[in-house]
Amino acid sequence: MKRTFTCIVCPNGCEIETEYEGTQVLSVTGNLCPKGKTYVTQELVDPRRTIATSVRVLNGTMPLTSVRLTNAVPKDRIFDVMDEINRQTLTAPVRIGDVVIADVLGLGSDVIVTKNIDKA
Ligand code: SF4
């Protein structure tokens, strides 16, 4: 089978033409570096995504802080992870690197703070 992927590993966004059988990649063209083939293989075998979003903060100088995942999670679990993140409320102060949820849903990824919020 043939399929075209847009590589999201870097801002170049290469359009990668792929020939594959099941989860076996037979050929790739259009990638400017080897990461493109790795990305396409991952997409065929076990597509994953990461999340950057925000969480409410009580008693802070700002009402929200930004958070992200430390590792990509299976694409089909993104909405479950978002539900878990949306249930969280932090209390200021919060610091970059604070763990909001450890090993979210047992998927091997932590949700961590990426913006400092001081106490009001
Ligand atoms: S194939 Fe390489 S250069 Fe092209 S978008 Fe992916 S990581 Fe970037």
* pLDDT digits 0-9 by tens, 44-73: 999 999 999 999 999 999 999 999 999 999
Same domain flag for 108 and 58: yes
Same domain flag for 12 and 34: yes
Residues with CB under 6 A from ligand 1: 7, 9-10, 12-14, 31-33, 35-36, 39
Structural domain containing residue 98 = 52-113
- Spatial CB neighbours of 55, under 8 Å, sequence gap ≥ 6: 64, 65, 67, 85, 88, 89, 90, 100, 113
CATH of the domain at 81: 3.10.530.10
- pLDDT(23) > 90: no
Ligand 1 centroid–CA 86 distance in Å is 32
Nearest-CA residue for atom 2 of ligand 1: 33
Establish if 119 belongs to a structural domain. no
Contact (CB, 8 A) for 29 and 22: no
Same domain flag for 61 and 35: no
At residue 27, the pLDDT reads: 94
Q: How far apart are CA 78 and CA 94, in angstroms?
A: 24
- State mean pLDDT over 24-43: 94
Establish if 118 belongs to a structural domain. no
Ligand 1 centroid–CA 71 distance in Å is 19
